[in-house]
C-alpha cells in the first residue's frame, strides 16, 4: 500500500551514540522517535492512563509525565505497568523524586544533575537509574538558564545553553554514566536552531529537539515545523517533541507530519490538496478538511489527493493511493492505486457526496470497512 510520491531525506543524519528509553532506541541511527507529554495530574491515574493511551494510539513512541511530588512518582508504578510505550518522568529539582521514579518503572528521567548541589545525591540518582535500566535526559531551556551563565554570556545565547548542557553532562560523566541524551530548547526558533547546531558539534549524545513554549496548535505547529524542519533537514535530531498548548494528541500528529514531510518517517493519512482557484469544479478546501478531520489520527501510511481540476489533478492522483480530480458538469474522476477507478457525479453542493465516496475508499484501503454500508 505504498504511495508513489514520498519524500526522501535531504541529508545523512548526524552520527550519535545510542541510548535506550525502555524498548525504544534513541540515536545510533534508530528512527527518529516522537515524544509527547501528558497534561493531566499524574497522581490522577485514570486520567493520565487514558491520555497516555490516546498518545500512544496517535503514534507517540515515548510519553513524558510530570512528577512534581511523591504522589506522582507513586502513580508511576501503575502507569508504567499499563502503558504500551515507555514513560519519562519529568523531574526538576528534587533528587528523591528522581530516585522514586527510577524505582517505580520510569524508563528515563528528565533531570538536570547540576540542579542538585551535593555530589552524593547525584551519585544516588545515578545508582537508581543504573540499577533500574533507566536513562536520563538533560534538558536545558532558555527560560531557566543558570544565573552565572546568563551573566557570563550576556543572556540566554546559544553558547550559554550549550555550556549549561555540557556542565550538567559532566556531572553524569563523573559518575561514569553515559546513558543520557540532551536537549537545548528555546522559544525563539532561531535561537533553538543555533543552539542545537552548536550542541550537535560538541557531543555525540542523542539530541532531543523541540521548540519550547511554541504556542497554540496553529502558531506552535508552524513555529515547530520551521525550527525542527531546519534542524532535521541538516540531520540533527534523534527524538523530538512538538510542544503545543492544548490537546497533546495534536502534538503527535504534527510531529508525524513534520517527519513525513522530510522523508524521515512514514505514517498517517496525508491529504494533498490544491489551493483551488476559478477552475475548481468543487469546493476543494471543504473536501480536504473533512477528510483530514475524519482520518487525521490514523497511523497507517496513506496519501490522498484532492484536486479541483484536470490541470494538476491527474498527475497528483497518479502518485497517490487515492485521488480525486474535478471534472466538468459535476462529474469527477476517482483514482485508486494510481489508476483510474471510475467517476463520481456530484453537482453543485455535492461535496458531502465526494467526502463519503473518498472516505469509503480510504476505509476500504485501510481495512476498516466492516460495519460500514
Ligand atoms: S488543480 Fe485546478 S483547481 Fe486546483 S489550483 Fe490548480 S488549476 Fe486551480
Please compute the mean of the pLDDT values over residues 32-37 and round it to a whole number: 97
Question: How far, in Å, is the centroid of ligand 1 from the Cα of 272?
Answer: 12
Which of 49, 48, 34 shows the shortest CA–CA distance to 299? 34
- The pLDDT tens digits for 288-325 are 999 999 998 888 999 999 999 999 999 999 999 999 99
- The pLDDT tens digits for 124-139 are 999 999 999 999 999 9
pLDDT for residue 109: 97
Determine the residue of 271, 275, 277, 316 to mutate for testing ligand 1's pocket, defined as the one with the most ligand atoms within 8 A of the Cβ atom: 277
SS3 20: strand
SS3 74: helix
Burial grade of 299 (CB within 10 A; 0-12, 13-18, 19 or more):
middle
Question: How far, in Å, is the centroid of ligand 1 from the Cα of 247?
Answer: 34
pLDDT for residue 373: 45
**Minimal-distance CA residue to ligand 1 atom 8:** 277
Q: How far is CA 158 from CA 8, 193, 302, in A?
A: 30, 9, 39
Determine the residue of 276, 306, 325 to mutate for testing ligand 1's pocket, defined as the one with the most ligand atoms within 8 A of the Cβ atom: 276
Work out the end-to-end distance of the chain between its first and last CA atoms, rounded to an integer number of angstroms.
23
pTM: predicted TM-score of the whole model, two decimal places: 0.90
- CA-278 nearest atom, ligand 1: 8
- CA-325 nearest atom, ligand 1: 1
Residue 82 confidence (pLDDT) above 80: yes
Domains along the sequence of the chain with CATH: 19-261 (3.20.20.20), 269-365 (3.30.413.10)
Residue 1 confidence (pLDDT) above 50: no
| Confidence category of residue 43, pLDDT binned at 50, 70, 90 | very high
Extract long-range pairs of 274-277: CB within 8 Å, 24+ residues apart: 274/306, 274/307, 274/308, 274/312, 274/313, 274/316, 276/308, 277/308
**Minimal-distance CA residue to ligand 1 atom 5:** 276
Q: What are phi and psi of 225, to 5 degrees?
A: -65, -40
Which of 253, 266, 254 shows the shortest CA–CA distance to 8? 266
pLDDT for residue 308: 95
Residue 370 confidence (pLDDT) above 70: no
For ligand 1, residues with CB inside 6 Å are 274-277, 279-280, 307-309, 311-313
SS3 48: helix
Order of strands across the sheet with 331-336?
A: 269-273, 302-307, 322-325, 331-336, 339-345
Determine the residue of 272, 273, 274 to mutate for testing ligand 1's pocket, defined as the one with the most ligand atoms within 8 A of the Cβ atom: 274
Determine the residue of 271, 273, 275, 280 to mutate for testing ligand 1's pocket, defined as the one with the most ligand atoms within 8 A of the Cβ atom: 280
pLDDT for residue 371: 44
Amino acid at each position: 500500500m505504498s504511495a508513489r510520491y514520498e519524500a526522501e531525506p535531504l541529508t545523512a543524519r548526524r552520527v550519535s551514540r545510542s541510548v535506550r528509553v525502555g524498548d525504544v532506541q534513541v540515536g545510533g541511527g534508530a528512527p527518529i522517535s516522537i515524544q509527547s507529554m501528558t497534561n493531566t495530574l499524574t497522581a490522577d491515574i485514570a486520567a493520565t492512563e487514558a491520555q497516555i493511551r490516546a498518545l500512544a494510539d496517535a503514534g507517540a513512541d515515548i510519553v513524558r509525565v510530570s512528577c512534581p511530588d511523591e504522589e506522582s512518582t507513586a502513580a508511576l508504578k501503575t502507569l508504567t505497568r499499563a502503558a504500551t510505550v515507555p514513560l519519562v518522568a519529568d523531574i526538576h529539582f528534587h533528587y528523591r523524586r528522581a530516585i522514586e521514579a527510577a524505582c517505580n518503572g520510569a524508563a528515563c528521567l528528565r533531570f538536570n544533575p547540576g540542579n542538585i548541589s551535593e555530589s552524593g545525591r547525584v551519585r544516588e540518582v545515578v545508582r537508581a537509574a543504573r540499577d533500574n535500566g533507566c536513562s536520563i535526559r538533560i534538558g536545558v531551556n532558555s527560560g531557566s538558564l543558570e544565573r552565572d551563565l546568563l551573566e557570563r554570556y550576556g543572556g540566554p545565547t546559544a553558547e550559554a545553553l550549550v555550556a549549561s548542557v555540557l556542565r550538567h553532562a559532566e556531572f553524569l560523566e563523573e559518575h561514569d554514566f553515559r546513558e543520557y541524551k540532551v536537549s537545548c530548547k528555546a522559544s525563539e526558533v532561531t535561537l533553538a536552531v543555533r543552539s542545537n547546531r552548536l550542541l550537535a558539534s560538541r557531543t555525540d549524545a542523542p539530541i532531543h529537539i523541540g521548540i519550547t513554549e511554541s504556542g497554540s496548535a496553529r502558531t506552535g505547529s508552524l513555529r515547530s515545523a520551521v525550527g525542527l524542519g531546519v534542524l532535521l533537514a541538516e540531520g540533527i535530531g534523534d527524538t523530538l517533541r512538538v510542544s503545543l498548548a492544548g490537546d497533546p494528541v495534536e502534538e503527535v500528529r504534527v510531529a508525524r507530519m513534520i517527519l513525513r514531510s522530510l522523508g524521515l518517517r512514514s505514517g498517517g493519512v496525508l491529504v494533498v490538496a490544491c489551493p483551488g482557484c476559478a477552475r475548481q469544479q468543487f469546493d476543494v478546501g471543504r473536501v480536504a478538511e473533512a477528510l483530514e478531520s475524519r482520518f487525521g489520527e490514523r497511523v497507517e501510511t496513506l496519501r490522498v489527493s484532492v484536486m479541483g481540476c484536470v490541470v494538476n489533478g491527474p498527475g497528483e492522483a497518479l502518485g497517490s493511493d487515492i485521488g480525486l480530480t474535478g471534472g466538468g458538469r459535476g462529474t469527477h474522476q476517482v483514482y485508486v492505486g494510481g489508476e483510474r477507478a471510475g467517476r463520481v457525479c456530484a453537482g453543485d453542493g455535492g461535496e458531502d457526496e465526494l467526502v463519503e465516496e473518498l472516505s469509503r475508499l480510504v476505509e476500504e484501503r485501510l481495512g476498516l470497512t466492516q460495519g460500514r454500508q
